[in-house]
A and B are shown apart, each in its own frame.
Chain A
Amino acid sequence: MSNQQKSLLQVRDLTTTFHSKGRVLRAVDGISFDVRAGEVLGLVGESGSGKSITLRSIIGLARDYGTVEGKVYWKGEDLLSRTEAQLRSIRGSQISMIFQEPMTSLNPLLTVGLQIEENLKAHTELERAARKARAIELLDMVGIPSAASRLKDFPHQFSGGMRQRVMIAIALASNPKLLLADEPTTALDVTIQDQILQLLLSLAKDLNMAIVLVTHDLGVVAQTCDRVAVMYAGRLVETGSVRDVLKRPQHPYTLGLLKSVPENIPPRTPLYSVPGTPPALDALPQGCAFAPRCMKAEDVCMKTKPPLSVIGEGISSACHFLEVAREEVPA
């Protein structure tokens, strides 16, 4: 890795396991990736592929309910070795997070003004009046009309999209350098989704903030991300720039995902879907987790896990038959 200096966040061999009734479930299985300053990284995968757990492992929430191993370097420092109290100075000020469900991610009993100011109180030296001014500025920045008069409103007086904007305002109050976004638009209407994504993008640009965007929507990735990492059953199967991955997917799984996005399809034709379902965490195959659903799978796929290997500039893929996959790429 030549660009280690430029990386803001380096995740190395992150493994998160849950212990349930004597069994060990690997939700995240040794994944490594970098996030560079100011870039938008999309983390894509089906439900249960470990995307959200990866985010929660990075910020230290996952260790409440599981064992997190590996390294997460933030400015050269391993976050995983920090205690909860030591993490507090980083959380919310340098790394922030927004959630999927804007209906529950705000405290229903406090006004949005108080909730924004709470972050400022925790991480800045601003006085009361300055905090209020900053709160108005933030609400304005995330596109809430007549911001000053809405500080005293409670979350239930806002619509879902507006609440997500408020949540973004809270998360960005102390100018974080990295925003972890856990499916921030999944619970919203399609039109609102687009607004929120555009907002996130423009904010990321203005504030020179990196975003890790967890989503299961490849359309969102194509629209917003610089790079993409595809997850399957807790492992990364493919990473690379959005351009490369979407244009020339190397891994059969990525290919399957792309084929299942309906595009230029006449009405009433059956939609393509990847056959089968993702494996349960307690029944992961010995070899490649995708092998049972893969059309290219051969004996070697059933026996050994393919490593994530660099196959081009900034592109890595984890498949035994990359050439085979490459042949299948539509022009």
Chain B
Amino acid sequence: MTQLDTLQATTPQKPKLHPRVKALLRPGFLLGFFILSSSIILAVFPGAFAPYDPNAFDFTAIKQPPSWAHPFGTDNLGRDTLSRVIWAYQVDMQIAFFATFFAMVIGVIVGSLVAYHGGIADVLFGRVVDVTITFPFLVLVIAVVAVLGPGLNNMYVAVTLVQWVYYARLTRAEIMTQMTNDYASAGRVMGYSSPRIIFRHLLPNAMTPLITFWMTDMALAILLGSSLGYLGLGAQPPQAEWGVLIAEGRNFITTAWWMSLMPGIAIVLTGLGFSLVGDSLADVLRPRGAS
């Protein structure tokens, strides 16, 4: 025993650089983290960075190409494109969050419950999944928005109504995998309640792919939000939103390409940020001891 104690005392308890910290120092994550944090700062304080009022018309500077005064140029009404792209961060980051968050919460809860309890609920859930994923995603969302009417809030409702199924399906699969581990049975033979087993034991172990999927989904939500904005079903003009901006530039694409290109670049960059962070998180969140 004493030998064991001294052995343990001399063995260093923790390595200098935790492997998880190491995983976070890779260029991919750093770049993604930089993009995402800048996006969030721009979304929270657009006024501090935008050089002009995003909705102020200036008929002396219509369709100006990029210059020092207007780095992203101006649109057909003389509004500064840079300022509009920056103000759009507020809307699009909000879309990234709200169009995915509720779907995730509902999907995770439903998915965990049907996976754990099985039975008729699981069968019904299977049918709902089949029906939902048979329809092309965008068509279904557009149909729901068409019924509810255009606008951001209705878009959130529509996306949540469709997207929760994908989270639930993923959660169900992950929980089922976790349930094959003995610790799930152990929880039951120790007499713990099923909510406790599901939400304290199974779900935390099933979270890694969910968080990765969530990150990717936020990137997709921005794309979807812009697509719906472009189609006139999401954010409504004159509100600055990337999809709306691209749509506004559509008619002038040959004469004022910057009107559509600049918000497009913003979409690509933000999506890239989410994907890079999601990828790195997948590595970092891998269960302990699995390396």
Per-residue interface assignment for chain A, residues 213 to 224, with 1 indicating a CB less than 8 Å from any chain B CB and 0 otherwise: 000000000000
Task: Note all chain B residues with C-beta closer than 8 A to A104.
Answer: 181-183
Residues of A within 8 A of B (CB): 59, 61, 64, 84, 87-93, 95-97, 99-101, 104-110, 118-119, 122-123, 145-146, 154-156, 167, 170-171, 180
Residue picked from B5, B188, B200, B289, most chain A C-beta under 10 Å: B188
A89-B4 Cα distance, complex, nearest whole Å:
39
Task: Note all chain A residues with C-beta closer than 8 A to B204.
Answer: 109
Task: Note all chain A residues with C-beta closer than 8 A to B188.
Answer: 61, 91
Task: Note all chain B residues with C-beta closer than 8 A to A107.
Answer: 183, 187, 201, 205
Pair B192/A118 contact, Cβ less than 8 Å: yes
Task: Note all chain A residues with C-beta closer than 8 A to B288.
Answer: 108-109, 154, 156
A122-B181 Cα distance, complex, nearest whole Å:
21
Pair B182/A105 contact, Cβ less than 8 Å: yes
A110-B8 Cα distance, complex, nearest whole Å:
22
Partner of A88, one of B192, B200, B290: B192
Closest A residue, CB atoms, query B7 = A145
**Main SS at interface, chain B:** helix
**Which residues of B, 182-232, contact A by the 8 Å Cβ criterion?**
182-183, 185-194, 200-201, 204-205
Task: Note all chain B residues with C-beta closer than 8 A to A106.
Answer: 183, 186
B19: CB under 8 A from chain A?
Answer: no
Question: Smallest Cβ distance from A15 to chain B, in angstroms?
Answer: 21
B1: CB under 8 A from chain A?
Answer: yes
B287: CB under 8 A from chain A?
Answer: yes
Supply 19 further A-B pairs (C-beta < 8 A) apart from A97-B186, A122-B190.
Answer: A61-B185, A64-B118, A88-B192, A91-B190, A92-B190, A96-B190, A99-B182, A99-B186, A104-B182, A104-B183, A105-B183, A107-B187, A108-B183, A108-B205, A108-B287, A145-B5, A155-B289, A170-B186, A170-B190
A73-B268 Cα distance, complex, nearest whole Å:
66
Question: Smallest Cβ distance from A187 to chain B, in angstroms?
Answer: 11
A59-B187 Cα distance, complex, nearest whole Å:
12
**Which residues of B, 159-184, contact A by the 8 Å Cβ criterion?**
181-183
Pair B189/A91 contact, Cβ less than 8 Å: yes
Closest B residue, CB atoms, query A59 = B189
